[in-house]
A and B are shown apart, each in its own frame.
Chain A
Amino acid sequence: MTTLPNDTPAVIEARGLHKVFRDFWGRPKVRAVQDLTLEVRSGEIFGLLGPNGSGKSTTIKMLLGLLYPTSGELRVMGRSPRDAVTREHLGFMPEESYLYKYLTAQETLEFYAALGGLSGPARRKRVDEMIELMGLSGARHRRVGEFSKGMARRVGFAQALIHDPDLLLLDEPTSGLDPIGCRQVKDLILDLARRGKTILVCSHHLADMQDVCDRVAILLDGRVCAQGSVKDLVRQPDTWRVTLEGVDAALRDRLVTYLQEQCGRPVAVEPAGRSLEALFVDVVTRQRAANPPP
């Protein structure tokens, strides 16, 4: 995670955005997005959070030019999202891997690379890179329809990156992935941000979002309820967590007693430990190192 200066150029600008779905007779049926104003700056990882039906997917579809705002202003890279030139700089990974099941992994990436404007040796090289990056070398000639959900997600991620876009829209990027895959995707997102890519992520996995996002916006009923940097939003004023290493039980008890006397209120103490994800990754990595798959 990085902290960007405020004068960093905005890649996505939404001002007073509304999206109303109407019925057959033109009467308003659903107000999916209401007065949405947000700005995603170049090089940051921005999280769009919210429960189901909060307007996240509608916002992403408007950013892709699939849906058109009812009112308000929306600019992506300074242009209208409906402009095909805008999409030259944009990669999209949908929530489900909407892939052509009869194509192999390699054919899939070649197809999307061609749509992304790549041709000839540059296309072949890029496809090879993506297959290598996503760990699909052993399955490049297998049809996508035969893939597990996790493998299909990797192909989906690869197609989003295939034309090296500057802006990535990722809808639930860790959905369907095992913890190792999740970790790899999060590492990849962080790595892409380090290389200057701007990333907008939608997810229900709040822990994952906290791990990677610089800033987040929380949507509810189509409105932004909270927006800001993750650090600022999760911070509790005058509340601190201290981690002590090399401390035995006797010293711990003395310290707790001292702190309670100083603060005048109970102090929460619990043993420090790794997250379950960290434990899982560590165990599986060690096992695989000891018994590599054939």
Chain B
Amino acid sequence: MNLPRLIAIVGLTLRDAVRSRVVISLLAALLLVLVGLPLLVQSDGTPVGRLKIILEYALAAAIGLLSVATLWAGCATMAAELQDRRLFVVLAKPVRRWEIWVGKWLGIVLLDAAVLAVTGLVVAALVAAVRPTAGSDPQVEALLAGRDSYRPDWSASGLARPDPTAGGDNDKSPMKSVALLPGHSLDFTFPVSAIAPASPMELRARIGSSRPNRAPVESVWEFGPPGKPTSVISSTNAPGLSMTLAVPATAWSPTGVHVRLINQNERDPTTLVLATGPAGVELLVPRDGFAVNLTRGLLVVFARLAFLAALGVTAGCLLSLPVAVFVAAFVLVLIASAGYVQSVAVSGMYFIPMESDAPEVGWLDRVVLLLFKLMNTVTQPLNRLAPVPLLADGRRVAWTVVAQAAVLFGFAYSSVAALFGLWRFTRREVGRAGTD
């Protein structure tokens, strides 16, 4: 590899983006989205509501915009130069085609890094502007903390432990939910002895009921050693929806956080149904500050952008600009639909059937489902390693997630795109009459 040649191509790509006003336009659009969207979208008026809009909508929109810009820049930097023949003169120099590919990709990746850094600073500034005085609003502090999620140890309850590796619907789990008859209770423990005793903790659970209507469900929660609770909380919540409880610091003990759920609906006999799958009971415990968590989240985004840049440059190498942009747009739509693709691949249904009878599955359906399963293999990590839902929910973007994203998107996916692009580009004829 000739480093001066590579640096020259990287520099050219950066100059192109800066002088053709791509960077300034992109920054202006990002600023508009990050500042404008929170003004347009109505929040509930609380600081938490406003922060959620910044983190959930504005940040997601900014990342979406940056993804589109990255794919477009990747396509344009190659396809446009091939089309207007500027690349002929470059290819006539003693430069390897892979050096051109890598130089273009690196240029876009560096540009992404700079724009992403600005995005992070703007988000941090917006959060600082909305955030009330530190410590004055526990909900805000919880949202802006990078919290770890702990699952219960069900052995204290005498139940089999649910399979934590099962998919979204937890079909393979030995237990999706637990029914609690009136007058009965359920004990479980969160093994969180490693955390500091005074940490503010939050319990999340989904409780349904045997009532046929959507009437609120009453439940009683005891925290502390079994039989000697240090705190008792009564809760009323909508059935089946996620509820949150602030767990008192006194609930902590060296053996973990002990919880007892009691069904006290004896006068109006109602069976409680506690969801115990992955979306069921969890304890959220703060581990990091917002700045560190946001930085890690942006690193995950950066790894995704590196992959999109590789995809764009490869498409631009092989296809004309309009076709490359079309293919890239299709890929973006596919990535954006990762959740739907996963649900189809897992459930085997394109949509929820309106009738109770199972729909007839024909050969075409089988082929389409197979296609969805293949797509899900690729898009599922993109769905799983998305930082925005974590940031918007006050969850920690763990270093393991960053490492997975770096290995998967920054290395594996990007390498596959690069190898395919280089394999085709090094064999491609350039300058065929009427085709370039």
A-to-B contact residues, CB < 8 Å: 21, 30, 32, 57-58, 61, 64-68, 84-88, 90-92, 94, 96, 98-100, 102-103, 107, 110-112, 114-117, 119, 156, 159, 163, 169
Contact = CB atoms under 8 A, between A and B. Distances in A.
13 contacts: A57-B433, A61-B88, A61-B431, A66-B431, A88-B94, A92-B89, A92-B92, A114-B4, A115-B5, A115-B8, A115-B93, A115-B94, A116-B94
A114 B5 contact: yes
B429 A87 contact: no
B400 interface: no
Nearest to A112: B93
A142 to B, nearest CB: 13
A98 B85 contact: yes
A166 B199 CA distance: 74
B118 interface: no
Contact of B433 (A21, A90, A163): A21
Q: Which 6 A-B pairs have the closest CB atoms?
A: A114-B8, A102-B19, A92-B92, A115-B93, A88-B94, A87-B94
Nearest to B87: A98
Interface string B388-411: 000000000000000000000000
A64 B430 CA distance: 10
Interface of B: 2, 4-5, 7-9, 11-12, 15-16, 19-20, 84-86, 88-96, 429-433
A115 B85 contact: no
Contacts of B430: 61, 66-67
B20 A94 contact: no
Contacts of A117: 2, 4-5, 94
Contacts of B19: 102
B20 A163 contact: no
Nearest to A143: B19
A29 to B, nearest CB: 9
A64 B433 contact: no
Contacts of B8: 110-111, 114-115
B337 to A, nearest CB: 31
A32 B432 CA distance: 10
Contacts of A156: 89
B232 to A, nearest CB: 70
A156 B20 CA distance: 21
A119 B432 CA distance: 33
Contact of A103 (B15, B93, B95): B15
Contact of B92 (A30, A57, A68, A90): A90
Contact of A66 (B16, B20, B429): B429
A102 B22 CA distance: 13
B92 A87 contact: yes
B432 A115 contact: no
A40 to B, nearest CB: 17
Contacts of A84: 94-96
B377 to A, nearest CB: 31
A58 B94 contact: no
A159 B94 contact: no
A94 B94 contact: no
A98 B87 CA distance: 8
Nearest to B9: A115
A102 B16 contact: yes
A176 to B, nearest CB: 16
A111 B9 CA distance: 8
Contacts of B20: 102
B89 A163 contact: no
B86 A99 contact: yes
Given A114-B7, A115-B9, 15 more contacts: A57-B433, A61-B88, A65-B91, A67-B431, A92-B92, A96-B85, A98-B85, A100-B15, A100-B86, A102-B16, A103-B15, A110-B8, A111-B8, A114-B5, A115-B8
A168 B95 CA distance: 17
A116 B9 CA distance: 12
Contacts of A85: 94
A61 B5 CA distance: 22
Nearest to A32: B433
B89 A94 contact: yes
A261 to B, nearest CB: 58
A124 B7 CA distance: 16
B209 to A, nearest CB: 64
B16 A100 contact: yes
B364 to A, nearest CB: 28
Contacts of B7: 114
Contacts of B88: 61, 64, 66, 92, 94, 98
A163 B91 contact: no
A84 B431 CA distance: 18
A21 B432 contact: yes
B91 A64 contact: yes
A94 B85 contact: yes
A98 B89 contact: yes
A159 B92 CA distance: 11
A100 B92 CA distance: 15
Contacts of B84: 98
Nearest to A58: B433
A159 B432 contact: no
A102 B15 contact: yes
A76 to B, nearest CB: 12
A133 B92 CA distance: 22
Given A30-B433, A94-B85, A114-B4, A66 B91 contact: yes
